[in-house]
Structure 1
Amino acid sequence: MAREKNFYPLAEGLSTQDTFAVLGDAQKFQKHKHAWKVWRALKDFRCVVYPVAEGLSRIDGSKVYSNLAQLTDKVTVVVPCLLPERLKSLVPDAVSAGCSKIWFQEQTWTRELQQECDSSGIEVIRGCVLRHRLYPSKISLRYLSPCYWHGLRDVKVPMKRFGRY
C-alpha cells in the first residue's frame, strides 16, 4: 500500500512539492557549511533536491551535478548558496535549465541579480531555508540558531519521526 505524501508550505508560495537544486561549491558541501545544511534540510522535508557543485561527484551517497544544465526540466527552484560574485551566470543558467524561481539565501541576493531575474521572468524568493526547520523543543540549542529566531513566526515543516511526518 502506497502512502500519500504530505506537502507543506514554505516561503512565498513555495512548498515541499517543488523540486530544488542547491547550488554551492565542493567546500560548502564537504565541510557541512550552508549549502550542505540547506540540501540536508530540504531532504529532511522530503523534497526532491539535487546538490550542484563543480569538482564533487558524490556527497552522503547522493550524486552531485556539476552544473544546472544537467538538471534541465528536473527542477523548479534554484537555491544558490554562494556569494554574489560567484553567481555571474546564475540567471541565464536557471532559465536554460527551465527553472521558474530562485530562492536567494541570506547574503546571496543583489539588486543586479534581482533585475536580471525580473527581465528574465524568474520569480525571486528571499530568506533562509533553515527558517522553516522545526527544532525539537527538548533541545535548547534551537535558541542559539539565528535561523530559528529569524524565522520564529515562519511556517515550519514537521520533523520526520519513525519514517513519517
Structure 2
Amino acid sequence: MAREKKIYPLAKGLTTQDTYAVLGDAEKFQKHKHAWKVWRTLKEFGCVAYPVAENLQRLDGSKVYLNLDQLKDKVTVVVPCLLPDKLKSLVSDVAAAGACKIWFQEQTWTQEYQLECDNSGIEVVRGCVLRHVIYSPISMRYLNPCYWHGLRDAKVPSKRFGR
C-alpha cells in the first residue's frame, strides 16, 4: 500500500505540492550559499525542485539546468536567488517556461519586477524559503534571522530531525 504524500502549506498559497526552479549561479550553489540552501530545503520538504545555473553541470548528484527554457511546463514556481542586476529578463523567462508564480527571496524583489508580473499575470510571493524550516533544538536557530522572522509562519517538519 503506497503512503500518501503529505502536503504542507508554505507562503501565500504555495505548498509542498508545487514544483520549483531555484535560480542561482555556480558560486551560490557550489559554496552552499542561499541558492543551495533553498534548493536543499525544498527537497527536504518533499518538493520537486530543480537547480538552474549557468556553468554548472551537476549539483550533489542532480542535474543542473542551464536556463528555465529547459524546464518548460515542468515548474509552477520560480525562486530567484540572485540580485536583480543578474536577472534582466526574469519575468519573461518565467512566463515562457509556463510557471505562474515567482517566490522572491529577500533582496531579489523590485518594484519593476512587481509591475512586470502584474502585467504578465504572474503571481508574486515575497519572503524567505528558510522561514518555513523547523530547526532542531540544538541548532543555530538563535543566530538564524530566517528563524526569528518566520517564527509564526507555517513550518514544514524536517526529515533530518525525525519529525
TM-score w.r.t. the length of structure 2 is 0.97
Q: Which residue of 2 aligns with 1:53?
A: 53
RMSD: 1.2
For the residue of structure 2 that corresponds to 1:9, the secondary structure is coil
The whole-number CA distance in structure 2 between the counterparts of 1:123 and 1:60 is 30
Q: Which residue of 1 aligns with 2:4?
A: 4
TM-score w.r.t. the length of structure 1 is 0.96
For the residue of structure 1 that corresponds to 2:70, the secondary structure is helix
Q: How many residues align?
A: 163
The whole-number CA distance in structure 1 between the counterparts of 2:57 and 2:102 is 24
The whole-number CA distance in structure 1 between the counterparts of 2:87 and 2:149 is 25
In structure 1, stretches of 5+ residues that fail to align are none
Deviations 1:33-91, CA, capped at 9 Å, x for gaps: 00000000000001000000001000000000000000000000000000011111100
Deviation at 1:161, TM superposition (A): 5.2
The whole-number CA distance in structure 2 between the counterparts of 1:84 and 1:43 is 25
Structure 1 runs, 4 residues or longer, greater than 6 Å off = none
Deviations 1:7-57, CA, capped at 9 Å, x for gaps: 000000000000000000000000000000000000000100000000100
Identity of aligned residues (%): 76
2:64 matches 1:69 = no
Q: Which residue of 2 aligns with 1:121?
A: 121
For the residue of structure 2 that corresponds to 1:143, the secondary structure is coil
Q: Which amino acid aligns with 1:74?
A: K
Q: Which residue of 1 aligns with 2:27?
A: 27
In structure 2, stretches of 5+ residues that fail to align are none
